[in-house]
Structure 1
Amino acid sequence: MLTIGEYHTLIIDRDTEPGLFLRNKNGDEVLLPNKYKPESFEIGEELQVFVYLDHDERPVATTLTPKVKLDEFAMLKCVDVSHHGAFLDWGLEKHLFVPFAEQAYKMEVGETYLIFCFLDEESQRLVASSKVNHFVDNSILTVKEFDEVDLIVTNKTDLGYNMIINDIHLGLLYFDEVFVDYKTGDQLKGYIKKIRSDHKIDLTLSKFGYKSIEPNAQKIYEILKDNEGFLAYHDKSDPKAIYNRFNISKKAFKKAIGSLYKDKQIEILKGEGIRLKDQ
């Protein structure tokens, strides 16, 4: 059986009036309509396609690339609303449906939403949900402390930003870890800072330990050289100013200049800034 909402590498079986019929090694077939047929092909050749349901709810293949596939999160724009629900542009001819019951709040045409794409068991159709927190689970964790992870911003809370971790778990990035305003759907790299006894996860954007000091120290050293050997930043500088200039936290900045100072690369001018030794 060909899974709906996934890519498949299939064999071109035969050329017919409506298009090419493709099959897998088990003999499961799907039609690739003429509008997606390659200019040149050979029977028996392999072709990678995406399989979904057409307007008549029949499995069909396409060579187009969707913006999201089964069991993935994505930011999609609402292009239509009916009395059944909303419809999102996901890059294919037939829009992705969001039932009213799966809308965190009523969707509006022209707005963009973070959604999760899943297979509705009752209708066996691909649908989307903006209730994204329903599709993350921390009961069985696949990450450990200090791991580098992929993050998607979901929403801002009183403490920080909720983040989807590796498309599986939910974590929190506290405000004291960031100095920019993130928007829902922003994607970034981060690290597992702490896993609590209740499986709640604290996140950080800074690498840990020695590995984080050397790259940051090198970055600051290069910026110093490009600025005539002096920068008006020190341990009393505003954390946001440090982040805007170096794209690192104040804690990481202090570690980095401490490393440079220990290696006798810089002087720390109290209340003024830092200067290269040879300047």
Structure 2
Amino acid sequence: MIEIGKLNSLTISKKRDNEVYLDGGELGEIALADKEAPANCEMGDSLQVFVYIDGKNQTIATTLVPKVQVDEVAWLKVVSLSHAGAFMDWGLPKDLLVPFSEQKTKMVEGRFYLVRLFLDENNRIAASMLLDDFIQDEAFYYKDGQAVELIIVDETELGFKAVVDHKYWGVLYKNEIFQPLQRGQKLAGFIKKVRPDQKLDLILSQEKYGQKVDATSGKILAILEKHGGYIGLTDKSPPEMIYDTFAVSKKVFKQAIGGLYKQRRIVIEEKGIRLITNADA
């Protein structure tokens, strides 16, 4: 069954001059909108195409792949405004419409917004800023530790609110985030816990705290050896500098250098840390 607004694998049913038609099953033949068909394509070949309804209410296919498909959330840029609403760049020649009725705030040309794609009553693709109309609070069938795809939505008092697999809301807690996050950022994560109310607590890494400290200790020693036994970072350095170098929080870094100091592997100086060599021992 063909899914409008998504990628489909369709078979070439007819070629006429430079025109290519695909077998759309119950929808009949679907014209390939691309001006040039893929090189050396023949009758019976399968093409991966994105299917949509055009302005003339005709079902059309293209080999171009958009940045986002129907039922997905994405961070897109407004490229123009009109009497119908705002239009966003989503990677296809015809820009994506966000009707005024689907705008949470008045959209501004040149700015980026989080939107979710849907099919309107005429099966035409549109976008909405009203994520709460589509994203659910209660998630089922997930297990603790399961890998998921996350999109960062907003920073909150607890941490960050994120969309899980384009379908559910989840929370990343600030004391478990060891990297900078931005609105609209897409990244991999894990289900930390499915709460009794079926809401999702999230985490970006399954690595235990102790394992993270141990791994950071190894990184510190490796970088010290690479840079002649000295680096200009201490437990008083800004968190941003520490993260840029080791991709961990200041807390993890302090624990790591504290452990190395107790093991007499390093010396902590006023402006940096120095590796203790065999000659120093």
Task: Give me the TM-score of the superposition, normalised by structure 2.
Answer: 0.82
Q: Amino acid of the residue matched to residue 123 of structure 2?
A: Q
Q: Amino acid of the residue matched to residue 139 of structure 1?
A: E
* TM superposition shift of 1:154: 1.0
* TM superposition shift of 1:273: 5.6
Deviations 1:116-173 (A, max 9, x none): 11222x2222111112243322312444444444321112223332122232322233
* TM superposition shift of 1:61: 0.8
Moved more, 159-168 or 25-34: 25-34
Task: Give me the TM-score of the superposition, normalised by structure 1.
Answer: 0.82
Deviations 1:49-81 (A, max 9, x none): 111112212110111121111211222222232
Measured in 2, the distance between the counterparts of 1:232 and 1:277 equals: 15
Secondary structure of 2:35's match?
Answer: helix
Would the alpha carbon gap of residues 116 and 217 (structure 1) be closer, same or farther in structure 2, given more than 3 Å must change?
same
Measured in 1, the distance between the counterparts of 2:35 and 2:258 equals: 62
Q: Amino acid of the residue matched to residue 38 of structure 1?
A: P
Spell out the pairing of 1:1-279 with structure 2 (5 A cutoff).
Answer: 1-16=1-16, 19-23=19-23, 28-33=28-33, 35-120=35-120, 122-178=121-177, 182-209=181-208, 211-231=211-231, 233-234=233-234, 238-257=238-257, 260=260, 264=263, 266-267=265-266, 269=268, 274-278=273-277
Moved more, 22-31 or 104-113: 22-31
Question: In the alignment, is the contact (CA less than 8 A) between 1:206 and 1:212 conserved in 2?
Answer: no
Measured in 2, the distance between the counterparts of 1:198 and 1:48 equals: 40
* TM superposition shift of 1:111: 1.9
Would the alpha carbon gap of residues 36 and 66 (structure 1) be closer, same or farther in structure 2, given more than 3 Å must change?
farther
Q: Amino acid of the residue matched to residue 48 of structure 2?
A: Q
Q: Amino acid of the residue matched to residue 137 of structure 2?
A: N
Measured in 2, the distance between the counterparts of 1:30 and 1:3 equals: 13
Moved more, 47-56 or 76-85: 76-85
Measured in 2, the distance between the counterparts of 1:275 and 1:34 equals: 61
Measured in 2, the distance between the counterparts of 1:235 and 1:194 equals: 32
* TM superposition shift of 1:206: 4.5
Question: In the alignment, is the contact (CA less than 8 A) between 1:136 and 1:170 conserved in 2?
Answer: yes
Moved more, 140-149 or 6-15: 140-149
Would the alpha carbon gap of residues 189 and 97 (structure 1) be closer, same or farther in structure 2, given more than 3 Å must change?
same
Moved more, 140-149 or 43-52: 140-149
Would the alpha carbon gap of residues 169 and 214 (structure 1) be closer, same or farther in structure 2, given more than 3 Å must change?
farther
Measured in 2, the distance between the counterparts of 1:275 and 1:6 equals: 55
| Structure 2 unpaired stretches of 5+ | none
Secondary structure of 1:3's match?
Answer: coil
Total equivalences in the alignment: 277
Would the alpha carbon gap of residues 27 and 154 (structure 1) be closer, same or farther in structure 2, given more than 3 Å must change?
closer
| Structure 1 unpaired stretches of 5+ | none
Q: Amino acid of the residue matched to residue 173 of structure 1?
A: L
Would the alpha carbon gap of residues 136 and 188 (structure 1) be closer, same or farther in structure 2, given more than 3 Å must change?
same
Measured in 1, the distance between the counterparts of 2:205 and 2:237 equals: 19
Measured in 1, the distance between the counterparts of 2:137 and 2:40 equals: 48
Secondary structure of 1:35's match?
Answer: coil
Identity of aligned pairs, percent? 41
Would the alpha carbon gap of residues 189 and 169 (structure 1) be closer, same or farther in structure 2, given more than 3 Å must change?
same
Measured in 2, the distance between the counterparts of 1:270 and 1:22 equals: 70
Moved more, 189-198 or 34-43: 189-198
